[in-house]
Structures are given as structure tokens and as C-alpha cells.
Amino acid sequence: MPPPYCYDHPRPAVTVDTLVFTLDGDAIRMLMVRRKAEPFAGQWAIPGGFLEIDEEIEDGVLRELREETGLDEVALLAPIGVFGELDRDPRGRTITLAHAAAVRGPAPEVTSGDDAAEAAWLEPDEVDQFAFDHVQIIAEGLQWLAIGIEMGPVALVLLPEEFDDADIKRLHAAIGASARDASAWCREMLENGVIAALPGTPKRYQGVLTPEDDFDDEADLTS
């Protein structure tokens, strides 16, 4: 018989929310769901839900993504913050463990499920209002995205496996950076051995080290 989970003192609920980014055409898009039920029914939110009592955190992250959007594979999954304001969830005290991740574009097809009425890839400024405190989580996620692109690992996920100067400029333009920033990034990544020029094809490149091998310190992308 399972334990009743009755305690002498109140305990908060714990959720996991995961912001997934992709480069789709010329735009950075993030994976969002439209809530089916209250609270905030009909509003856009980051995919997520309650962590089960016997579930590892990363397992819960991937389960919720799969159940609500059908997406079952992401790269560079990393924690970006703990959000626990007293009034963030009208159902009661709820603390969320927020994560960010990236996938290579074009944006993978997603399908809504579980308690999501709709799943879609949206641009960050496409929605005026989000459920819960998700606007704050999105702000943290965008910072993670910018740092990860600048350092290399997120850029290697978002860019095609083989890319050229135009692809690099397109990625940087999508986050508001200049063509000069893109050229400086390319030079730095070449000098540091993160990318390499493809032989016989001028100004075409590929990643030399995978993000998982070369950038495995989560602190590097969250500081």
C-alpha cells in the first residue's frame, strides 16, 4: 500500500517548467503551450507541470515536455532558476524549477496534449501576457540564450550542422546583434577551435566539439 503522504506541517508543491528555443528562419522562437484549465485558462505558458514524488528532476522535465508538446529530444538542458514567490500560483504555494534548452531548426512539429490546449513555436515578443510568473522565467531564459550563443554551445545547436557566414549573421540578427558581432564571434570560435572551416568550401564551417563534450559546466551558461 502506498504511503498516505500526510504531514504535520504544510509543504509546498514543486513544478518543472522548461523553455525550449530554436532558430526558425530568421527568428528565434520558443516553445509555448496554451493552458486548457484554470488557473490562467487560455493563456500562453511555458511547458511544465508538477514533479512526481518519486521522479528525478530531469525525468520530470522531459516527461512534461513530451506530454504537453510531443517534443521528446532537446539539447543543453540546463537549470536557469528557482521561482517561488508566495503568490505566483493561485492554487497554493508552488515552487518551480525552471530550465532552458535548445533544438536545431527548422522548428520541430509539436502537438498539444495532457492539459495543454495548444502547442506552438512563438517569438518572444509575440505574446503580451503569460500565465503565472512566466514573463520573468522567459527573461532568464533569454539571458541564458544570449550567453550560450556568445560562448558557442547554444549557437552550435541552433545553427545547421554545416553553416556559413550568412547563417552566423542570421543567428546574431535574431538576438539583436550586429553583423560585426557575428564576424567577431566567427573569428573567436575559429581561434578557440570550437568551429573549423570546411576544406574546399570557403567561409563554410562546422562545429569541432559537441556542446555536450566541450561545454558541460552548467554554471558557464547561467552566470
* CA–CA gap between residue 187 and residue 164 (Å, rounded): 13
* Joined grid coordinates for residue 95: 515552487
Sequence-distant (≥ 6) Cβ neighbours of residue 17 within 8 angstroms: 45, 46, 47, 48, 96, 97, 98, 99, 134, 137
Q: Pick from 181, 187, 189: which is nearest to 156 by CA?
A: 189
Name the nearest CA neighbour of 99 among 84, 81, 120, 85: 81
Separation CA 35–CA 114 (nearest Å): 10
Q: Which residues are catalytic?
A: 118
Determine which helix (DSSP H) or strand (DSSP E) holds 142, and give its type and residue range: helix 134-151
Q: Residue 39 CB: number of other CB atoms within 10 A?
A: 11
* Cell numbers placing 175: 538576438
Closest CA to 162 of 107, 203, 216, 106: 203
Q: CB–CB of 168/182 below 8 Å?
A: yes
